[in-house]
Structure 1
Amino acid sequence: MYLQYLDEPGNDQDSEPPPRRRGRGWRILGWTSVSVAAVLLLGSGAAYAYYWRLDHNIHHEDTDGLIGANRPKKLNNALNILMLGTDSRAGSNAKYGRRMKNDPPRSDTMILLHLSPGGKQALGISFPRDLMVPIPSCARTDGTSSPAASAGMLNTSFTNGGASCTIKTIEGFTNVKIDHFMQVDFTSFKSVTDAVGGVEVCLPQDVNDQDSKLHLTKGRHVIKGETALAYVRNRHGLGDGSDLQRIRRQQQFMGSLAKKVLSAGTLTNPNRLLSLAEAGTKSLTTDKGLGVTTMVKIAQGMQGLSAGKLRFVTVPVAAYAPDPNRVALSQPNADRFFTAIRGDTTIQDETKASKASAASKVPPGQVKVRVFNGTETKGLAGRVAEQLKAQGFQVIKIGSLSSGRSTQVLYGPGASPGAATLAGVIPGAKPRPRTSGGTAGVVDLVVGGDFTSVKARKTAIPKVEGELSADQDICS
């Protein structure tokens, strides 16, 4: 299914939209404003008086109940928030296509905001709407279930079962746990751009597009309100109209918006803060666990985030052989990328990380590990094993021993280098050879009562071709 482009000829506010030719290049801006609003709440104590009002702007969906318990495990304190844009024609949205008023809402903007532990780095991961992936059967809010498909466009998951179905679909092919979602329509877009005082954009050429009513000269502009809406509505005047190029333009706009919001002038302006919070929560739907209070807690953990630490990428994709108008995940790059996201840990000092890497005799991927629980804490060995897997270790067995043991790293014949590597991520553990019962080439980790955690290692989330940083020059 495709969405109606706002800039198609004759598709102004009060006209009937032509059939077919669908898409929505600018809904991403709505969810960006929502995440930004949570950050801005920190800037003024007066904002807390608005809690009740803002919380009652938000609609909630029982995502945990709809998806169920069979979901990826959390390995660390990273936070993943799925941002969705919907083309619902309910209420004031009807003016953007009255003939589609009764159509089921769709989403063509799906971005996973990944916040690294510590809150000082963030990654916005774009998923193309026409990415071909397995679509699972999903429980709907009305009690029915959607059909499964071995391959389908990612945005059909939203049409089939709403935001929770999209979460279930993305978790299925990434194995990354999604903690929350934010779903926004486009009626509040103009007020959001007004609230931040406008967003800087850079045009590669003059644009005089009658369909979107965008009339701007080449170069830099700070746009808001109707002009900003015309810019993001534009299709024919800028680029080639492809989904991937539209995503890149969205990312550039988001980076410029984030840079503006994270600037001192925005954060210290109470009127702008409260206006943005009000605009951001209008027409917002989230999971039950994400209310204003939770947003503020998340924002408190992001106080160290700067524009230079906010990156935007698109998942690695390649041509989809059966249909050149679709894309598929590019393997093995995509799986490596998702593994790095899932295992992201607090970034250590570069010098320390470099020394730790040099001290390791072999990389984790060459170390075979058996993990044994030496305590009465149920499931401890399994949780530790998942953390080790996220760092690349080969966990070949999980078991239990009698309780009351201390944490130990033991190795069999020929496994001394691997034991040194493993000991490097187990605080206080010193490797020693097994006197009996050891297996050649295998390292045993006994998790005892003194165990604290698997030590954080520098995680190299691979750079993706074409990634953008929020602090880069908008005209670069």
Structure 2
Amino acid sequence: MNSNPMYMEYVDDADPQTAPPRRGWRILGWVCIGLSAVMVVGSLTAYGLYRKAFGNISHEDVNAQLGPNRPKKLNSAMNILLLGSDTREGSNAKYGRSMKNEPPRSDTMILLHLSPGGGQAMGISFPRDLMVRMPACRTKDGRTVPASARAQINSAFTNGGAACVMKTIESISNIRIDHFMQVDFNGFKSITNAVGGVPVCLPKDVNDPKSKLRLGRGKHTIQGETALAYVRVRHGLGDGSDTDRIKRQQKFMGALANKAMSAGVLSNPRKLLSLMNAATKSLTTDEELTPQVMMRIAQGMQGMTSGKLRFVTVPSGPDPADPNRVALTAGAQPFFASIRNDKTVPSEPKPGASKIPPSQVRVRVYNASGIEGQARRVADDLESQGFQVSVGGNASTTAITKVLYGSGADQQAQTLTALIPSKPQAAARVSGGSPGVVDLIVGSDWTALKNARGGIPKQDGEIKADDDICKGT
């Protein structure tokens, strides 16, 4: 099974003029996508200097294709769909001439979620072989591709371009997507050169004849052809599993974003202009994502550090109907709900509300949701808020989240209840409860803890842009 959202194959092991017709190399522009995100969240303050670079961007009107029936906006967050197209048009043809006349696909789909207040951002990858219900989509020439009860998500781009991908992800997540940014893979080498190379860490010596990657064990800063070889290599690194490859590629994207967001790039007009030119030459956006809008977003995200840029894969696993495909797991809808409900910093407590801070509240978390690992995830989020937390284990499945407490913990229970958006049953004192302890029984209605700092709770397997590049190698 290949559940890798940044899957790569290549046809140019032989001469590109003579390579036999077969499924082609997919570098997919996912690295360029990392730079598209940086363009939005970076500290771009001198618009006049970069006007020419912004002029490189192509724009597309998607409103007519999307139609009026879209999810409602529940918060002031910004959601931007980042797409990597495998088109072989123009100079992209050398990366698989046998595919030149095939319709383009988008095998890289990342929803960039910018939290309200500009403090955090999360890149959410959707695996290319994720099986979903596909909505009816309008093509650019006005035809309608009918809905399908079961289809691979990357076919949405072929059906109706960026608008169809937006419509498909909105239909499965109920998250309103504000804009899209689409890139191809032609500018990859220029981008890695523009940032002065990307740091990587190899666990062993590599000499792979297919990708032509030849590097020794340890840390390296790579760019150009070497960087291209690194993202192409399939069998020379890791254990060959999809999970290992996903993590390695997301680490590369994080390291690239970290390098691009560093002061050495953002504060250097020459380097930043070079980076902007490299990233924008292969960039297409919706018509509403104008340079002025991008600048406003950038100004709102000015204080964000690379440590607040995180990468995750949408909760998914083997498709029960086909082990070679991927399906959303039970954790997907709670995850989507946490994004929809991502709020700004709460206002001051209302009169009569508990004034006991989270640091003085002891909470035990029990999993009654039926979702494996839910108690640990909720506990992690509570800890990030400052609560004293322990995991109590599993409880009988219930549809409704409950807050129970022992003697002397009524005010502590109010502090916890105020941060639960799913409106649990009124906090109740129980005779068998531990004195001073609040028990949180997480039901199947759980969405996400209200986050006093804004943002999304920690996710399993997430990677931060400023992570140690040698961690886990």
Shorter-normalised TM-score: what interval? Answer: 0.7 to 0.9
Kindly state the Cα deviation for residue 16 of structure 1 after the two structures are TM-superposed: 2.5
Distance 1:35 1:8 in 2: 29
- The 1:89/1:226 distance shift into structure 2, 3 A limit, reads same
* Alignment CA distance shift 1:116-1:475 (3 Å): same
CA-to-partner distance for each residue in 1:214-243, whole Å, 9 max, x for gaps?
Answer: 111111110111111111122222235555
Q: Which structure has the bigger radius of gyration?
A: 1
Deviations 1:316-351 (A, max 9, x none): 1122111111111111x1111000001001246999
Alignment match, 2:290: 291
Which residue identity does 1:16 align to in structure 2? A
CA RMSD of aligned residues (A): 3.2
1:154-182 deviation line (CA, Å, top 9, x unaligned): 11111211111111111101011111111
Q: 2:336 aligns with which of 301, 323, 338?
A: 338
Report the more deviating stretch, 263-272 or 456-465: 456-465
Distance 1:92 1:74, change over 3 A: same
Matched ranges for 1:152-167 at <5 A: 152-167=151-166
Shift of the 392–339 alpha-carbon distance from structure 1 to 2, 3 Å rule, reads: same
Q: Which one-letter code corresponds to 2:185 in the other structure?
A: F
For residue 456 of structure 1, report the CA deviation from its aligned partner: 8.0
Please list the CA deviations of residues 80-121 of structure 1 after superposition, one character each: whole Å capped at 9, or x if unmatched: 111111111111001111111111111111111111001111
> 1 CA distance for matches of 2:259 and 2:346?
28
Once residues 417 and 74 of structure 1 are traced to their aligned partners in structure 2, the CA distance between those partners, rounded to angstroms, is 30
TM-score normalised according to structure 2 size: 0.75
Contact 1:340 1:459 in 2 (8 A): no
After superposition, residues 83-94 of structure 1 pair within 5 angstroms as: 83-94=82-93
Equivalent residue, structure 2, for 1:68: 67
What letter matches 1:50 in structure 2?
Y
Q: Please list every run of 5 or more consecutive structure 1 residues that lacks an aligned counterpart in the other structure.
A: 368-387, 395-414, 419-454
Give ranges in structure 2 of 5+ residues lacking alignment: 366-399, 403-417, 429-449
Q: Would you say how many aligned residue pairs link Structure 1 and Structure 2? A: 391
Q: Name the counterpart of 1:465.
A: 460
Task: Write the deviation string for residues 11-30 of structure 1: whole angstroms up to 9, x where unpaired.
Answer: 4544425413x562452111
Alignment of 1:304-383 (within 5 A): 304-331=303-330, 333-347=331-345, 355=356
For residues 164-183 of structure 1, the aligned pairs below 5 Å read 164-183=163-182
Give the Å deviation of 1:256. Answer: 0.5
Partner in structure 1 of residue 22 of structure 2: 19
1:362-403 Cα shifts (integer Å, max 9, x gaps): x9x669xxxxxxxxxxxxxxxxxxxx9x93249xxxxxxxxx
Report SS of the residue matched to 2:137.
Answer: coil
Contact 1:54 1:292 in 2 (8 A): no
Match of 2:408 in 1: none
CA distance in 1: counterparts of 2:354 and 2:310, whole angstroms: 22
Q: State the SS of the aligned residue for 1:42.
A: coil
In 1: Cα distance, 2:238 partner to 2:50 partner: 41
Q: Is the 8 A contact 1:31 1:85 kept in 2?
A: yes
1:237 aligns with 2:236: yes
Could you say which residue in structure 1 is the equivalent of 2:104? 105
Which shows bigger deviation, 168-177 or 239-248? 239-248
* One-letter amino acid of the counterpart of residue 191, structure 2: V
Contact 2:84 2:109 in 1 (8 A): yes
What amino acid maps onto 1:35 in structure 2? Answer: A
Q: Give CA deviations for 1:50-85 in whole Å, capped at 9, x if unaligned.
A: 32x334322222222211111111111101111111
AA aligned to 1:310 is L
* Structure-2 change in CA distance of 1:139 and 1:237 (3 Å): same
Q: 109-118 or 262-271, which moves further after superposition?
A: 262-271
Partner-residue secondary structure (3-state), 1:108: strand
Q: Distance in 2 between matches of 1:168 and 1:105?
A: 18
Q: 1:86 to 1:291 in 2, by over 3 A?
A: same
The one-letter amino acid paired with 1:10 is D
Q: Which whole-Å CA distance do the structure 2 matches of 1:33 and 1:76 have between them?
A: 25
User: Is the contact between residue 73 and residue 176 of structure 2 (CA under 8 Å) also seen in structure 1?
Assistant: yes
Instruction: Output the CA distance in 2 between the equivalents of 1:248 and 1:106.
Output: 23
Partner Cα distance (2:401, 2:235) in 1: 52
Q: Which amino acid aligns with 1:321?
A: P
Task: For residue 49 of structure 1, report the CA deviation from its aligned partner.
Answer: 3.6
- Alignment check: 8 A CA contact 2:29 2:108 kept: yes
User: 1:272-323 CA deviation, whole Å, 9 max, x = no partner?
Assistant: 1001111111121111111222111111111111111111111111221111
Query: Quick one: which amino acid aligns to residue 22 of structure 2?
Result: P
Residue type of the partner of 1:181? F
Query: What's 1:35 paired with?
Result: 37
Counterpart amino acid of residue 465 in structure 2 = A
User: In the alignment, what sits opposite 1:378?
Assistant: none
Instruction: Return the alpha-carbon distance in structure 1 between the equivalents of residues 212 and 62 of structure 2.
Output: 39
Provide the C-alpha distance between the structure 2 equivalents of 1:326 and 1:350, rounded to a whole number of angstroms.
47
Residue 325 of structure 1 aligns to a residue in which SS?
strand
**One-letter amino acid matched to 1:191:** S
Residues 317, 329 of structure 1: 8 Å contact kept: yes
Q: Once the two structures are superposed, what CA deviation does each residue of 1:129-186 show, in whole Å capped at 9, x if it has no partner?
A: 1111111110111111113211111111112111111111111010111111111001
The separation in 1 between residues aligned to 2:243 and 2:348, in whole angstroms, is: 33
Distance (Å, rounded) in 2 between the aligned partners of 1:274 and 1:296 = 15
**SS of residue matched to 1:326:** strand
1:39 & 1:459 partners in 2: Cα distance?
A: 16
Q: Name the CA distance, whole Å, in 2 between partners of 1:225 and 1:81.
A: 28
